[in-house]
Chains A and B, each alone.
Chain A
Amino acid sequence: MKEIRLHGRGGMGTVKAAEVIVHAMVAQGGFGNSIPFFGFERQGAPVTSFIRLDAKPIRPKTQVYEPDCIIVLDRSLQTAVDVFVGVRENAFLIVNSAEPPESIEAPKRVTTIATVDANEISIRKIGKPIPNTAMLGAFVKCTGWVEIDAVVDKVAALWGDANASIVREAYDSTLILRR
């Protein structure tokens, strides 16, 4: 089983991005669940969402405490939230950043770091800095845990072709550091 934690802010589509990953996993014959961390929904407030992916049905309906992968939709969160709490060995980290992955500080347990300039792609394609779809592309490129076509199909169905093209461009432009 793979466990993922997403850190974003209200309005960035964090919870929806988690749901798209579960959709993709189910579309390819697997199982997944996603649970948002339930706070009062406010624009800009820190938001956390949890995902589990597996080849067999997933029984725990609980939050994720020891993630194999951390997705950070907004780097400024790192001053407000400890995004690395409980992270497992050989974990993946995906950050929304214009900088290369070498510039990202992370504990040694994180052995793969990926960055993508999600805001830039999003503003250029849909005129708004909504980073979730670009982060989906980066997630697929970095981990390979779900298929890119399944993610693109679901994003197209939910939000249209412009957003689907964001996923593809982010997938192609994601920078990955394995260490």
Chain B
Amino acid sequence: MSRVDVLNGNLAAAHAARLSRPEVIAAYPITPQTPVVEYLTQFHADGSLPCQMSEVESEHSAMSILTGASLTGVRCYTATSSQGLALMYEPYFRASTLRLPIVMNIVNREMISPQTVWGGPQDSMTLRDAGWLQIYVEDNQEILDTTIQAFKVAESAEVLLPINVCYDGFYLSHMTERVEIPSQEEVDAFLPPYRSRHIILDPETPMAVDPLTNGRLLMEYRRKHMAAQQAALVAIEKADAEYARRFGRSWGGVIDEYRTEDAEYLMVSLGSVCGALRECIDDARARGVRVGLLKIRSLRPFPRARVIEALAGKKGFGVIDRNVSFGTNTGILFQEIRAALYSAGSRYPAASFIGGLGGEDLTLEIVAGAIKSTIETVDAGKIDNEASWLVRPERKA
């Protein structure tokens, strides 16, 4: 039987990791991910998380240890944020190109400089082309459910890729809310033990891994890696559907749609701001404005076909990015959506917004303003080539 508790996002992630029975965990604390490491070491100390727990001296070491561990065919988990992820970049890329199904929560935090510890998914979105799968979530229940599903997706035979489940630092990591925690038996029935079949370091049956490889063969690796990313589109949907059957909760798979069916305008975003968007969409609907939400859950693989389908027949859309794509004058998600639509055969008016960087709040007022502005842009038939910046006005009593 599942039980109801009140958890912050980091504790939800730690419970998901515990319930997934990882055999090796290696992690280094960094704000705002630190409590994940504290909770896991607590679980390990009280006996509820029997695994090899390695408290390493850096994130580079954390991912290096998991790379070695995963090569021996065991289930591996870690978590990090921002500068820690940046320090991990070298083994991060290698874990994906070695096709190791490691699960890592990224507690999204803005990149320095200037110095900051607050939220923003610039850290993981910048690394969208490093070969990992990346899913972005909206609340603490979704953190828990998706992190459990992540092991299933990563380890499926047609995928075999590492995966990030990314959630907003502080707005989710330190927010407490009601979360249902499934029982160990229920999770065991959903997630059988991992058995590696593609790559195993075993002295009894030696194999060469990662030898110096020429370009022609390396291209073959990349081609298969990209095919595995495409296979993950299906694996994510399958894992969501099976999870829904067993636990009664579906998060939509690679995307989630809210009130899109008869919508004329779509707002597109990812992460915790989708909650405010749902609220503001209901308000707009109450005034007769036909607007809906397209939430991108899987940034990698990018759900191109589902995005095209969701936007088909709409007047246009607006994208709220909590990140920047330097050199393009817009956010990363706006670029991704525009690129996907190029093959759709339709040209949609579109508005681009950047806001909520460095932990700045994306308030209901700001989100409602972005919806209003999207409708004006779309009705005028314009396509933004430069983002509008969402800035919070100073308030006085």
Contact = CB atoms under 8 A, between A and B. Distances in A.
* A and B interact physically: yes
A18 B176 CA distance: 9
A65 B5 CA distance: 27
Contact of A35 (B6, B175, B276): B175
A38 B358 CA distance: 11
A116 B139 CA distance: 35
A34 B175 contact: yes
Contacts, number: 78
Interface string B358-370: 0101111100000
A26 B361 contact: no
B278 interface: yes
Interface in A80-95: 82, 84-87
B174 interface: yes
Interface stretch (B58-66, B81-89, B165-173, B338-346): B165-173
Contacts of B364: 60, 62
A31 B275 contact: no
For this complex, into which size category does the number of interface residues on chain A fall? 20 to 34
Nearest to A15: B174
Contacts of A58: 177
A172 B391 CA distance: 45
Nearest to A59: B275
Contacts of A35: 170-171, 174-175
Given A19-B6, A31-B177, A32-B177, A60 B397 contact: no
Interface in A48-81: 57-63, 65
Nearest to B173: A38
A132 interface: no
A107 interface: yes
A26 B361 CA distance: 25
Nearest to B179: A26
Query: Which 7 A-B residue pairs are closest in the complex by CB-CB distance?
Result: A59-B275, A33-B177, A61-B272, A38-B170, A35-B175, A26-B178, A23-B6
B397 A84 contact: yes
B69 to A, nearest CB: 33
A36 interface: yes
Contacts of B176: 18-19, 22, 33-34
B279 interface: yes
Given A19-B6, A32-B6, A38-B32, 11 more contacts: A22-B177, A31-B177, A33-B176, A35-B175, A38-B359, A60-B276, A61-B138, A61-B171, A65-B363, A86-B397, A107-B397
A33 B362 CA distance: 17
Interface residues of B, number: 32
B178 A31 contact: yes
Contact of A62 (B171, B174, B395): B171
B361 A82 contact: no
A84 B397 CA distance: 6
Interface of B: 4-6, 32, 117-118, 138-139, 168, 170-172, 174-178, 272-273, 275-276, 278-279, 359, 361-365, 395-397
A70 to B, nearest CB: 11
Contacts of A26: 4-6, 178
A61 B172 CA distance: 7
Contacts of B397: 82, 84-87, 107
Interface in A6-45: 18-19, 22-23, 26, 31-36, 38, 40
A8 B138 CA distance: 28
A127 B140 CA distance: 36
A62 B170 contact: no
A35 B6 CA distance: 13
Given A61-B275, A65-B363, A86 B395 contact: yes
B276 to A, nearest CB: 5
A55 to B, nearest CB: 12
B145 to A, nearest CB: 15
Contact of A60 (B168, B279, B395): B279
B359 A59 contact: no
A19 to B, nearest CB: 5
A39 to B, nearest CB: 9
Contacts of A33: 175-177
